[in-house]
Amino acid sequence: MVELEDIVKRRDYKLKPYFFKSCKKCPSNYLTLMRHNNTIGQWCPDCRSIFDISRVCTFCNLVYDFDDMECIECEKIITEIAAFEVCIEDNEKALRRLSRKHKRGDIPETIFLNQKQICQEEIIKCKEELEKVKAIRRIEQLLESPTQKQ
């Protein structure tokens, strides 16, 4: 079971606010922050224009609103990574519990071997899937990183 905190601690991106350095409608290069449409905008005191502030994902460069905190695209793959890692952790815990029960003689040998095999197969399956997803993420990062510096 993947909890929100499992996802949050694996986030490898940020949505960084993109501020304008100068007014887009007049020559002024002094903009202040102000509340606007229930969010924060940049305001030019000279021509009284208000500009919405966007956020840009540091990983995939997708553009979001100022109030957004999560990148939908990145979140999908991080949720998958979290799910596989949690699956591995859960099955490793289950294996340790199983071994303790077996040592105490609480479960018959056949059930012990059967359950142990199920857990081990699950761990192998999750590790394989995890590697695939992580490889995709690494390739994406290599492809995306040159444009991030612009």
Which residues of this protein are in contact with Zn ion, per CB under 5 A?
23, 25-26, 28, 44, 46-47, 57, 59-60, 71, 73-74
Q: How far is the CB of 146 from Zn ion (least distance, A)?
A: 16
CB of 2 to Zn ion, least distance (A): 19
DSSP label at 67?
T
**Measured from the CB atom, is 47 or 124 closer to Zn ion?**
47
Residue 55 CB, nearest approach to Zn ion (Å): 10
The rounded Cα 105 to chain-centroid distance in angstroms is: 43
Going from the C-alpha of 22 to that of each of 5, 40, 135, the distances in angstroms are: 38, 16, 40
Smallest gap from Cβ 87 to Zn ion, in A, equals: 24
Long-range contacts of 82-86 (CB under 8 A, 24+ apart): 82/2, 82/6, 82/7, 82/10, 83/2, 84/126, 84/127, 84/129, 84/130, 84/133, 85/6, 85/10, 85/126, 85/130, 86/1, 86/2, 86/6
Residue listed under structure tokens 């289950």:
94
Q: Whose Cβ is closer to Zn ion: residue 114's or residue 148's? A: 148
Give whichever of 117 and 145 is closer to Zn ion, judged by the CB atom: 145
The residue among 60 and 87 lying less far from Zn ion, judged by its C-beta, is 60
